Chains A and B, each alone.
Chain A
Amino acid sequence: MASTDATPRTVAPAPSAPGRRPARRSRRRGSRAVAIAFLLPALAVNLLVIGGPGASSFFYALTDWDGFTTPSFTGLENVTRLVADSNFWNAISHNAIYLLTFITVPMAMGLGAAFMLSRIRRGTAPLRVIYFVPYLFASVVTAQVWKNLLSPSSGIASALNKIGITALDDVFFFGDTRLALFSVMAVDVWQFWGFLVVLFLAAMQGIDQSRFEAARIDGANAWHEFWHIALPGIRPTLTFAFMIISLWSLLTFNFVFVLTGGGPAGSSDVVALLVNRVAFEQLQAGYATAIALAMSFLGALLLVIFHFIRRGEEEGL
């Protein structure tokens, strides 16, 4: 604090309003430049990484760009190709399954656990920590743990062998077209759901306790308290959770990439993997950009939907 040690004026008396006016106006003009200077580092990095390349996507999506040579404009060719591309529909259908699974399974688990945690007398804090720990794991490590556990030749299968059960010996959780996607989602749920517990518990603890007491006096059971008080009481948080889960489901990459690579035979492929493959293995950067944009439009659509839901909530309150 170089400016304050020179004089004892640190605690300045409030200056009188009339005397300050002219000074303030002249400062205003300069202050706009200062404000922009403060925004500059963030703005520069943003334009370089997100804004510029993001905007150029809208151009590249309409070209036959390979990433290196000069692209030539191909109009809507990429769009018609996308509509007819079975790989795209295959991948996006898995994103849809991901979305539906994640807005139900971890959601129900998170809500249930958070509600019970909010009602017990002792142990809330340590249990919350236990549920949260997997969320801190790097997905590469989580993937490895579950690969070991679910491998036909080690982990659970081989432990069951010791007691004479061989049922899991030829179940390839990540190598069977019928199981791969669900196995990947199960691993993802294990890592992620504790985040929802923390989110919902914090919201539920903010509900006025007297509402629960009043309901109890009226003869409400636990289910009633959950359904009629706890859930409505955390509605904004619920909407937020639905929103981020939906958006994340469109983006999901890590566990599919590490556990199955989208296979076998595309049975667990998702759009984020498809984009990477088309762009960086097949070097069809223009088409990959078109796929990515289609996905971003879906994300934007979800955002708009949730925006209206939230506005409806605010008006309803």
Chain B
Amino acid sequence: MSALASTDRGTTAVPRASGGLRRTPLSYTVLGLVAAYSLVPVLMLVFNSLKSDLELGRNPLGPPQNPRLENFTEAWVQGSLGRGMLNSAIIVLGTVVGVWICAGLAAYALARLDVPFKGGIATYLFLVISLPVQIFLVPLFFLWSRLGLTDTLQGLIIIYVAINTPFATLLLRSFLVAIPKEIDEAARIDGANELQTAVRVVLPLARPGFLTVGIVVGLAAYNELLFAVTFISEPSTLPIATAYLNFSQGFTQQYGLLNAAGVIMVVPVLVMFVLMQKKFISGLAAGGVKG
């Protein structure tokens, strides 16, 4: 903060022109240092994913001298990452589609239809978004174990759908109210029933909203930890996050492989991020989730 205050001593004389120029170098220095703070650990992950454990001992922070690509295949096999990735892909897909269906229909009802207790429902959704999951976690676990849903992917998917639908409903509703009502009136007059109007005419127009929801919910399901560790202990149904965790707890000495596994886990997210950067940033800012 003091850096900020001291940046433009003396800029008062010629406010605009010199103000912009004089502030800039210091701002860039600070921002650059902060960028290093954010990036260096990421770089370490990549560097160390390419080192043998021998080299890690000799060269803990620098770039790898003889990059060892086998780390990735070894980590993939030893950490059962293939199975974890497959499970996570199913979980992410199931969650996103489930949320799209539940939240899409609910948002359409709230935006367009004659829903009783509309205000009450909106308040309930807001409450559910805000209150700690601990309020239902313990009874849910024992309910799930009685229903045989613990250690299953569908059990986890249902939970993720339930947790993410309230936020997605409110977000999609805000997209839907912006779509002119004349469009669905026209579809109805043409004889479309309510479901056809919603699914074929109105909801497709809210595609950006669905994309945002898909990104936020998909990322949340991929990175989620609390429910994953609580509800799944069977190795064959572990999602990637807990598969990684088990790997890291079993092989604490093999830093090279652990870093390689970390890269494997992060790369799909970063690729998606690069492809849809703007959506990611605006979506995550709108539906902020934190581990």
Chain A residues close to B by CB (< 8 Å): 1-4, 6-7, 9-12, 15, 28, 31-32, 34-36, 38-43, 45-46, 48-50, 52-54, 56-57, 60, 67-68, 108-109, 112-113, 115-117, 119-121, 123, 127-142, 144-146, 148-149, 154-156, 158-159, 190-192, 194-195, 198-199, 202, 213, 216-217, 219, 221-223, 226, 244, 247-248, 250-251, 253-255, 257-258, 271-272, 275-276, 279-280, 285, 288-289, 292-293, 295-296, 299-300, 303
Contact = CB atoms under 8 A, between A and B. Distances in A.
B190 interface: yes
B241 A272 contact: no
B285 interface: yes
Contact of A144 (B4, B248, B269): B248
B41 A190 contact: yes
10 contacts: A28-B114, A38-B109, A41-B101, A120-B28, A121-B24, A141-B266, A154-B56, A221-B7, A299-B130, A299-B131
Contact of A53 (B19, B20, B143, B190): B143
Interface string B276-287: 010011101100
A149 B44 contact: yes
B163 interface: yes
Nearest to B248: A144
Nearest to B30: A116
B224 to A, nearest CB: 9
B42 A247 contact: no
Interface of B: 1, 4-5, 7-9, 11-12, 15-16, 19-20, 23-24, 27-28, 30-31, 34-35, 37-39, 41-42, 44-45, 48, 56-57, 60-61, 98, 101-103, 105-106, 108-110, 113-116, 121, 127-128, 130-143, 145, 158-159, 161-163, 165-166, 169, 185-187, 189-192, 194, 196, 198, 200-201, 219, 222-223, 225-226, 229-230, 240-242, 244-245, 248, 255, 258-259, 262, 265-266, 269-270, 273, 277, 280-282, 284-285, 288, 290-291
Contacts of B198: 38
Given A3-B191, A119-B27, A198-B281, A145 B115 contact: no
B243 to A, nearest CB: 9
A134 B152 CA distance: 30
Contacts of B222: 138
Given A49-B159, A254-B226, 6 more contacts: A9-B189, A49-B162, A119-B20, A131-B38, A216-B11, A253-B226
B20 to A, nearest CB: 7
B5 A53 contact: no
Contacts of A303: 127, 130-131
For the complex of A and B, the 8 pairs showing the least CB-CB separation, nearest first, are A49-B162, A35-B113, A254-B291, A38-B109, A292-B134, A223-B5, A53-B139, A3-B192
A2 B192 contact: yes
A31 B113 contact: yes
Contacts of A137: 42, 223, 266, 269
Contacts of A190: 37-38, 41
Given A158-B60, A285-B142, A38 B23 contact: no
A190 B38 CA distance: 7
Nearest to A193: B38
B130 to A, nearest CB: 5
A247 B7 CA distance: 35
B113 to A, nearest CB: 4
A12 to B, nearest CB: 5
Contacts of B163: 49-50
| Majority-rule SS of A interface residues | helix
Contacts of B121: 39
B290 A112 contact: no
A127 B7 CA distance: 20
A244 to B, nearest CB: 6
Contacts of A15: 189
Nearest to A221: B8
A288 B264 CA distance: 36
Nearest to A216: B15
Nearest to B106: A42
B187 A3 contact: yes
B24 to A, nearest CB: 6
A275 B31 contact: no
Contacts of B7: 221-222
A35 B244 contact: no
B259 to A, nearest CB: 7
Contacts of A280: 141, 230
Contacts of B161: 45
Contacts of A3: 187, 190-192, 196
Contacts of A140: 225, 241-242, 244-245, 248, 265
Residue of A40, A198, A221, A300 with most partner-chain B CB within 10 A:
A221
B97 to A, nearest CB: 12
B35 A7 contact: no
B258 A144 contact: yes
Given A35-B114, A145-B44, A221-B8, A139 B223 contact: yes
B225 A257 contact: yes
B61 A38 contact: no
A43 B133 CA distance: 17
Contact of A38 (B28, B113, B165): B113
Contact of B132 (A10, A142, A250): A250
